């Protein structure tokens, strides 16, 4: 099927969301709470676009592109005056919530907002409540963290605000967070995240610490990964392969040389 975006036609696939097409085609629409690893959620409201269709009798509306499934001949506008106004309002609010976040500051300034017109949050952290961290943690099957509270006091938290028993220290939440709010620290062979400490597995060859014992065990048990997979790190595995490859090449050379001799 085809959909029209800002006057040009693009190929779209059944089951995709409008945002998927926008991203694939490199059309610049801000979207902070959508990630290919998890189901769309519609939290940040930045990805709003205008849609219409020739069969809709002139009706058009503004929708979140991350949650709107494509349909044939859908007509999308990503930067109408209304849409830009909507995004400005959202960014103005996000900037009040997270006045210190470089990512939010940058995005807001792209839309001409340098300071929020609302009262900035006191003691603000950089969490925009996009829910990516909790969703990816659930998607991975750990369910270690969740949204706690309601209304103004809503926050991402560990159960009972204690070290989360179900966390394996995989760092998926850290990596997916659009505003780098989630902190962790690797000191020697210890990783600390969410107030919990993990021992890191060391590579048997170079000694580099890369993954927590808990996460390695989880992957070995649930993802069909060989039990000794994490004994040696990827870098050492690669140089190991290179060595083997060299041996192989030299072996062939040797063969050739021997052949020449015998010929």
Partner 1 sequence: MKPEIDVAELKEIISHSPQKPSSLIAVLQDIQRKFHYLPPEAIKETSSALGVPLSQVYSVATFYSAFSLEPRGKHTCRICMGTACHIKGAPMALEQAEDQLGIKAGQTTPDLRFTLEVVNCVGACAMAPVVIIDEKYYGNVRVDKMKRYLDGVRDED
Please give the residue ranges that form the binding site for ligand FES (CB under 6 A): 31-34, 42-47, 64, 66
Residue 74 interacts with, from ligand SF4, partner 1, ligand FES, none (CB under 5-8 Å by kind)? none
**Of 55, 54, 68, which is closest to residue 15 (Cα–Cα)?**
68
Is 166 near partner 1 (CB under 8 A)?
Answer: yes
Dist. CA 23–CA 21, nearest whole Å: 5
164-223 residues in contact with ligand SF4 (CB under 6 A) are 167-173, 176-179, 181-182, 193-194
- DSSP class of residue 121 equals P
- What φ, ψ does residue 86 adopt, rounded to 5°? -60, -50
Region from 21-29, 136-144, 220-228, 231-239 binding ligand SF4, contact rule CB under 6 A = 136-144
**Mask of contacts with ligand SF4, 105-134, x by CB under 6 A?**
----------------------xxxxxxx-
**Of 161, 156, 148, which is closest to residue 176 (Cα–Cα)?**
156
Is 137 near ligand SF4 (CB under 6 A)?
Answer: yes
The smaller minimum CB distance to ligand SF4, of residues 87 and 181, is found at 181
The smaller minimum CB distance to ligand FES, of residues 68 and 230, is found at 68
Largest interatomic CA distance in the chain? 88
H helices, E strands: number in the chain: 7, 11
Dist. CA 207–CA 190, nearest whole Å: 13
Residue 179 interacts with, from partner 1, ligand FES, ligand SF4, none (CB under 5-8 Å by kind)? ligand SF4
């Amino acid at each position: 099927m085809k959909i029209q975006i800002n006057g040009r036609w693009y190929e779209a696939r059944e089951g995709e969301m409008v945002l998927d097409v926008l991203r694939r085609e490199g059309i610049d629409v801000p979207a902070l709470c959508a990630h290919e690893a998890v189901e769309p959620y519609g939290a940040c409201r930045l990805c709003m676009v205008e849609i219409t269709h020739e069969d809709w009798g002139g009706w058009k509306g503004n929708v979140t592109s991350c949650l709107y499934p494509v349909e044939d001949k859908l007509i999308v506008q990503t930067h109408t005056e209304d849409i830009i106004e909507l995004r400005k309002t959202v960014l103005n609010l996000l900037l009040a919530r997270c006045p210190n976040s470089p990512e939010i500051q940058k995005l807001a300034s792209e839309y001409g907002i340098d300071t929020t017109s609302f009262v900035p949050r006191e003691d603000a952290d950089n969490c925009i409540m996009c829910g990516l961290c909790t969703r990816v943690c659930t998607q991975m099957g750990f369910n270690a963290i969740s949204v706690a509270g309601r209304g103004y006091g809503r926050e991402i938290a560990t159960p009972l605000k204690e070290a989360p028993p179900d966390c394996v220290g995989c760092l998926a939440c850290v990596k997916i967070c659009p505003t780098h709010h989630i902190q962790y620290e690797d000191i020697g062979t210890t990783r600390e995240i969410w107030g919990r400490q993990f021992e890191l597995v060391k590579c048997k060859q170079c000694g580099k610490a890369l993954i927590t014992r808990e996460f390695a065990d989880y992957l070995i048990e649930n993802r069909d990964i060989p039990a000794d997979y994490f004994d040696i790190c990827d870098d050492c595995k690669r140089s190991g392969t290179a060595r083997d490859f060299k041996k192989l090449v030299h072996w062939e050379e040797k063969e050739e040389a021997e052949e020449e001799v015998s010929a």
